[in-house]
Amino acid sequence: MPDAPFSADTTAAVARARQHGVGDLLRRTALRYPDKLAVVCGERRFTYAEFDAAVNRTAHALSARGVAKGDRLALLSRNCWEYAVTAFATAKLGVVLVPVNFMLGASEIAYILGHSGATGMVVQDVFTETAAKALAEAGVAAGVRGRIGGAAEGWEDVADWWTAGPDHDPEVAVGDDDPLRLMYTSGTESRPKGVVLSSRSLIAQYVSCVIDGGMAVDDVEVHALPMYHCAQLDCFFSVDVYLGATSVILPGPDPAALLATIEAERVTKLFCPPTVWISLLRHPDFDTRDLSSLRKGYYGASAMPVEVLKELQRRLPDVQLWNFYGQTEMAPLATILRPHEQLPKAGSAGRPAVNVETMLVDELGEPVPPGEVGEIVHRSPHAALGYYGDEEKTAEAFRGGWFHSGDLGIMDSDGYLSVVDRKKDMIKTGGENVASREVEEAIYLLDGVAEVAVFGISHPRWIEAVTAVVVPKPGADLTADAVLAHARAHLAGYKCPKYVVFADALPKNPSGKILKRELRARHADLPARDED
């Protein structure tokens, strides 16, 4: 190595030649496969050359409107091709994309706008009124305001951005660890945290997905879960772009639309959380649609009930399954359970992905031996840069040089991880700890159970009472006594529910996660009813 550093110009030239950001991935794929089908959304179909040109024009349009590297641009929309274009246009500019959960109210969105310092916003037409209220509440009076679905007062039509203008890449130097995404976690706290991800985080994670997730250039994948969540956006859609696979975008995970799309587009690959897989299995179209093209299935966001896993393998025998486990802070993949491990290690989250190191620690941060419960921690280039504007939470999460997930798990002697629970979901009843997942798995064994959620509610005697909300299968004749008798046959007495409630459906967020906080609030008065 030379003693003196290179000149500034030479250093910049070398950095530009070595640039490997998320935006660069699309350009390289478009050069390799210009005529290959990239994106399908409704009637619109883009080749990779066309998709890259639309992204570049949008990037130039944003730049012309004063949006520059490091600025934050909020995006409030359901899945659509414009969402995909915006995500890659910001990546090419080094603009920090702030995806916003479209289920949030105006005040919640205003918090994100204010906390992130967003100076612009792109919104789908159906969310215009909510977005306007949020911008006003956050005090954002200026900046870019683009609207998907046509212009409106105070909003310009984003169609004008991608239909004209230069179609070459913008000349912006984007470093590996320049912030690129600001993802707000649904979280366990009163206010969501902003997770900062860079190209390094994301691309290292894409490599893990490709290698351990069996992903390939000839995949045809349907994307139905919300792209504001990094699971759909970064475990699947962006990886497809990286490889040159074909992506079919749906606005949401409607079971009938999903099944019809698999048949019509000859889809080979599908990601769904367990709740959506269950909805597909229960839909009358499941046995009438031609699903023979499907070869790869992925699940995550929550544990797959073992009985549902067995049903999937029975009814889709040609589909290989993977379990992806992780957190937003891991961009988001951490561990994978591969197809040949599904039944031998049923219920496991698998082993660390190729670019991840995982272990379990106690409250002092010391490793715990196989078979003992500990907090799941990771080291990996996947990991986020930290929490935006919050050094205290970042220091706490990354203490000891490991990312602390907040999940509890057990590692067996073969290195397979089983997620016991979120710390917040561990039920402390009568002096004993009960993992809600263990109780759910036992109840799923009962014929007639479509879905179940188990959680704790405050109780004057037990501190917390184990509570189960059960959704019966159509036509099933279930009673609380039958559920309790079944639980007692499979679980220790203290783990059995003190309360069993039946419901037509479980509340879920758009990512398919069951909202246990809502269930706790809804059923908090059960002990009081006992006293009446």
pLDDT bracket for residue 514 (50, 70, 90): confident
Closest alpha carbon to 437 in 320, 316, 361, 325? 325
What's the pLDDT at 304? 82
What's the pLDDT at 85? 98
In this structure, is the dihedral angle defined by the CA atoms of residues 131, 136, 139 and 140, taken in order, positive or negative? positive
Asked if 76 and 51 touch (Cβ cutoff 8 Å), the reply is no
User: What is the CB-side half-sphere exposure of residue 490 using CA atoms within 13 A?
Assistant: 16
Closest alpha carbon to 74 in 109, 42, 30, 125? 109
For the record, the structure tokens of 354 come out as: 């190729």
Unique residue bearing structure tokens 């997730």: 213
In this structure, is the dihedral angle defined by the CA atoms of residues 136, 138, 142 and 147, taken in order, positive or negative? negative
**500-524 residues labelled b (16+ CB within 10 A) or e (exposed):** bbebeebebbbbbbbebeebeeebe
Q: For residues 169 and 480, give the distance between their C-alpha atoms in angstroms, rounded to a whole number.
A: 62
What mean pLDDT is reported for the chain?
A: 93
Domains and CATH numbers, the chain: 16-28+46-198 (3.40.50.12780), 430-531 (3.30.300.30)
Asked if 383 and 397 touch (Cβ cutoff 8 Å), the reply is no
Give the number of other Cβ atoms within 10 Å of residue 2's Cβ.
5
For the record, the structure tokens of 234 come out as: 């970064």
Asked if 465 and 499 touch (Cβ cutoff 8 Å), the reply is yes
Unique residue bearing structure tokens 């479980």: 506
What's the pLDDT at 431? 61
Least confident range of 120-124, 247-251, 396-400, 421-425: 421-425
At 506, is the secondary structure helix, strand, or coil? coil
Encode pLDDT of 432-486 as tens digits: 678 788 889 889 999 999 999 999 998 877 778 999 999 999 999 999 999 999 9
Q: For residues 197 and 388, give the distance between their C-alpha atoms in angstroms, rounded to a whole number.
A: 10
Residue count (the chain) = 532
Percent of the chain having pLDDT more than 90?
A: 81
Asked if 468 and 497 touch (Cβ cutoff 8 Å), the reply is yes
Encode pLDDT of 35-75 as tens digits: 999 999 999 999 999 999 999 999 999 999 999 999 999 99
Give the number of other Cβ atoms within 10 Å of residue 344's Cβ.
10
Cα dihedral 272, 131, 184, 423 in deg (nearest 10): -70
In this structure, is the dihedral angle defined by the CA atoms of residues 3, 7, 8 and 13, taken in order, positive or negative? negative
Unique residue bearing structure tokens 């205003």: 110
Cis peptide before 332 (omega within 30 of 0): yes
Asked if 458 and 512 touch (Cβ cutoff 8 Å), the reply is no
- Please provide the DSSP assignment of 200-249 as one string: HHHHHHHHHHHHHTT--TT-EEEE-S-TTSHIIIIIIIHHHHHHT-EEEE
Q: For residues 362 and 408, give the distance between their C-alpha atoms in angstroms, rounded to a whole number.
A: 10
What integer is the mean pLDDT of 18-33? 97
Q: For residues 394 and 404, give the distance between their C-alpha atoms in angstroms, rounded to a whole number.
A: 10
pLDDT at 428 over 70: yes
List of residues 6+ apart from 460 with CB closer than 8 A = 527
Q: Where are the beta strands (DSSP E) in 346-435?
A: 351-352, 357-361, 373-379, 386-387, 403-411, 417-422, 426-429, 432-435
What's the pLDDT at 494? 81
Encode pLDDT of 175-233 as tens digits: 999 999 999 986 434 478 999 999 999 999 999 999 999 999 999 999 999 999 999 99
Q: For residues 163 and 266, give the distance between their C-alpha atoms in angstroms, rounded to a whole number.
A: 29
Asked if 208 and 214 touch (Cβ cutoff 8 Å), the reply is no
For the beta sheet containing 179-184, the strands, ordered from the edge strand earlier in sequence to the opposite edge, are 156-157, 145-148, 120-124, 72-76, 96-100, 179-184, 194-198, 386-387
Q: For residues 28 and 25, give the distance between their C-alpha atoms in angstroms, rounded to a whole number.
A: 5
